[in-house]
Amino acid sequence: MGVITNEADFRKAIKESKPGDTIQIAAGNYHLTMAPRSIYDIQIPHSLNIKSVGGIANFYADLVNDGKRKLVTKGIFALKPAAKDVSFTGIGFHSAHASSWNGAGIRASAGNITVKGCTFSRCDMGILSMQKKIADRGRVLIQDSQFISCGIKETHAHAMYVLSNELIVRRCSVVGTLVGHHVKSLAAHTLVENCTLDDGLGTSSYAIDISSGGDATIRNNRIVQGQNGENTKLISYMAKRFGGVAGKVRIFGNTFTNLQEPFGACKVLKNTTASVIEFMQNRLEGFEPDKLFIGPVHSVGNRLNDELLPETTQ
pLDDT, tens digit only, all 314 positions of the chain: 699 999 999 999 999 999 999 999 999 999 987 766 556 889 999 999 999 999 999 999 886 665 555 566 788 999 999 999 999 999 999 999 887 778 899 999 889 999 999 999 999 999 999 877 888 889 999 999 999 999 887 666 899 999 999 999 999 999 999 888 999 999 999 999 999 999 887 778 899 999 999 999 999 999 999 887 777 899 999 998 777 899 999 999 999 999 987 766 789 999 999 999 999 999 999 999 999 999 999 999 999 999 999 999 99
CA 199 to chain centroid, in Å, comes to: 14
Give the CA distances from residue 87 to residues 16, 46, 118, 136, in Å, rounded to whole numbers and listed in that order. 18, 11, 11, 17
Instruction: Determine if residue 117 is left, alpha or beta; phi over 0 gives left, psi from -120 to 50 gives alpha, anything else beta.
Output: left
Q: How far is residue 8's CA from residue 4's CA, in Å, rounded to a whole number? A: 9
| Cis geometry, peptide bond prior to residue 296 (ω within 30 degrees of 0) | no
Q: What is the pLDDT of residue 172?
A: 98
Q: How far is residue 244's CA from residue 30's CA, in Å, rounded to a whole number? A: 40
Q: How far is residue 287's CA from residue 267's CA, in Å, rounded to a whole number? A: 7
Side-chain-side CA neighbours of 29 within 13 Å: the count stands at: 7
Q: How far is residue 57's CA from residue 147's CA, in Å, rounded to a whole number? A: 16
3 state DSSP class of 151? strand
The CATH class for the domain spanning 7-253 reads mainly beta
| Residue closest to 237 by CA, chosen among 228, 249, 225 | 249
Q: What is the pLDDT of residue 263?
A: 66
What is the side-by-side strand order in the sheet with 267-271? 42-44, 75-79, 104-108, 125-130, 160-163, 183-185, 208-210, 233-237, 267-271, 293-294
Q: How far is residue 6's CA from residue 28's CA, in Å, rounded to a whole number? A: 9
Q: What is the pLDDT of residue 240?
A: 85
**Is the pTM higher than 0.75?**
yes
Q: What is the pLDDT of residue 97?
A: 87
